[in-house]
Structure 1
Amino acid sequence: MADPAAVFRALHHGRAPDDPLVLPGPWDAASARALEEAGFPALAIPSAGVAASLGHEDGRTPADEMFAAVTRIVRAVSVPVSADIEAGYGLEPEELVDRLLAAGAVGCNLEDSVDGVLLDPDRQADRLARFRAAAGDRLFLNARVDVHLHAAPSGTDRASAATGRALRYAAAGADCVYPIAAPPDDLPRLAAAVPVPLNAIGTPDSPAAVRRLGELGASRVTFGPALQRLAAAAVREAAQRLR
């Protein structure tokens, strides 16, 4: 049987510009099965979607609950599954690797901010390098770049800051970089500068917009908790009709 992490890694490469890898985000076993049945070759669990399903605010899910949710989702499907593990819950990189492998995940997102504060990029790069050393090729590491999410000093060139962080993280061993919330017009510059695949965030209601992100340089498109929120909205509407 092919190595799931190798299969997942290969999905990111050799893609046509208008055909980025689309990774929808399950939040529980049932949603994961539905997405697999729809024909997606891999899935990417969003931490915010899992948090909502477990009754937590985004960013406040205990590590044990998150890894238990990842395990349930992985067991429910036969396709590779990556997991958003936020900034790592304060765990050492080596423990993160062990817990992801125990859960059956093929990779993860790791954020470079905590509680709205950007981490020092060199220290984050060192942490990613430790993760890579512990994981080897067994896990796909998607390094999130959060400079567009948080306040920055006046005059900051966010595109340059994002590119600098992305380059550090790629050099540290990241398989992919994720400048979340970067303006689409910044993607060509980032894609040209960074020697690993680029993850962009999209909306699940516009295939044309997803293709456009690919044309701008994204090799991979994810949607965060958008599908979970759409499902919650559908439940609310159905409940209103029942009253």
Structure 2
Amino acid sequence: MPDERVKRFHRLHASGCFVMPNPWDAGSARVLEEMGFEALATTSAGFAWTTGVGDNQVGLEASLEHLRMIADSVDVPVNADFQGGFAVDPQGVHDHVLLAAATGIAGLSIEDSTGDQSDPLHEFDLSVERVRAARSAIDDSGTGVLLTARSEGFVVGRPDIDETVRRLEAYSAAGADCLYAPRITTVAEVAAVLAAVSPKPVNLLINAPFLSVAEAAALGVRRISVGGTLARAAWRGFLDAAQEIKDDGTFTGFTQLPDVEGLLSAPRPGRAGRHT
């Protein structure tokens, strides 16, 4: 049976537009929850950077543990950036999605990129079968986890809106609950995706000043995420302060800093013992 967070996550996709920011660890997840966001999403890149490696260099087991940790850190629904399912073949995707669905997440995304610069997208029919396998795994799990299918053409140097739309339409037919084309950057591209998969909800990545929440909502976008961009913003503050120390021997970056201890140490009703 789907748990309450999964049910809440599905309800969020039924109408309106919500922002689902992307924490990279338990602390950032808790703070975003305390700020009032109704759902969160993991970021494979943001998590990878905390381990000292680049995106797509963290293995399945470490990623599953990260999902468990984030989901256990908050009461709001968590969507998993599950990359390509850590497999190429549909059976592998099925088996790994089944594992992910057991971590406490409320949703997950599967993408169609290969990691091969010379051939960056999985072949069309294979991509559709991979989404179908993820759908089957979620159904087999009985969790009701919400499935998002991503087409990565605009990420991997194949910015073809017609091909992106063709893929998203096929992923919708294969059982995806939500559709996502990261790094589309014009109103026309957003409108094309929305028109193609309606009435299913669409996730929009905003990782630069592109549209406001109100403008995206007016277009019909149901869900907004920011990928690794909050993590990059945090890294910018860290790097700027460290560079000043290295270059100038001064510490002007150490002013007007947030009370992180105060943000994270306050007792939370109903969650005693869940954070260490």
Length-normalised TM-score, structure 2: 0.78
Aligned to 2:268: none
SS of residue matched to 2:212? helix
Tell which deviates more after alignment, 47-56 or 29-38. 47-56
Runs of 4+ with deviation above 6 angstroms: none
Length-normalised TM-score, structure 1: 0.88
Aligned to 1:214: 217
Aligned to 1:51: 48
Mark the runs of 5 or more structure 1 residues left unpaired by the alignment.
none
Distance in structure 2 (CA, Å) of the matches to 1:70 and 1:2: 16
Distance in structure 1 (CA, Å) of the matches to 2:87 and 2:3: 33
| Contact residue 24 and residue 44 of structure 1 kept, 8 A | yes
Q: Deviations over 1:36-90 (max 9, x none)?
A: 0000111010111111111111111111111111111111111110110111111
1:202 paired with 2:211, answer no
SS of residue matched to 2:41? strand
Aligned to 1:110: 110
Distance 1:204 1:150, change over 3 A: closer
| Contact residue 203 and residue 221 of structure 2 kept, 8 A | yes
Aligned to 1:12: 13
**How many percent of aligned residue pairs carry the same amino acid?**
31
Quote the RMSD (CA, aligned, Å). 2.1
Following superposition of structure 1 onto structure 2, how do residues 17-166 of structure 1 map, counting pairs within 5 Å? 20-90=17-87, 92-115=92-115, 116=117, 117-136=120-139, 138-152=144-158, 158-166=160-168
Distance in structure 1 (CA, Å) of the matches to 2:79 and 2:208: 18
SS of residue matched to 1:8? helix
| Contact residue 80 and residue 106 of structure 1 kept, 8 A | yes
How much has 1:225 moved relative to structure 2? 0.4
Tell which deviates more after alignment, 197-206 or 139-148. 197-206
How much has 1:160 moved relative to structure 2? 1.1
| Contact residue 86 and residue 93 of structure 2 kept, 8 A | no
Q: Deviations over 1:137-191 (max 9, x none)?
A: 6211111111222344xxxx81211111010000000011111111322111221
| Contact residue 39 and residue 78 of structure 2 kept, 8 A | yes
| Contact residue 100 and residue 107 of structure 1 kept, 8 A | no
Look at both structures and tell me which one has the larger radius of gyration over its CA atoms. 2
Letter of the structure 1 residue corresponding to residue 218 of structure 2: E
Where relative contact order (Cα < 8 A, 6+ residues apart) is larger, the structure is: 1
Distance in structure 2 (CA, Å) of the matches to 1:21 and 1:122: 32
Distance in structure 1 (CA, Å) of the matches to 2:154 and 2:3: 37
Mark the runs of 5 or more structure 2 residues left unpaired by the alignment.
253-276
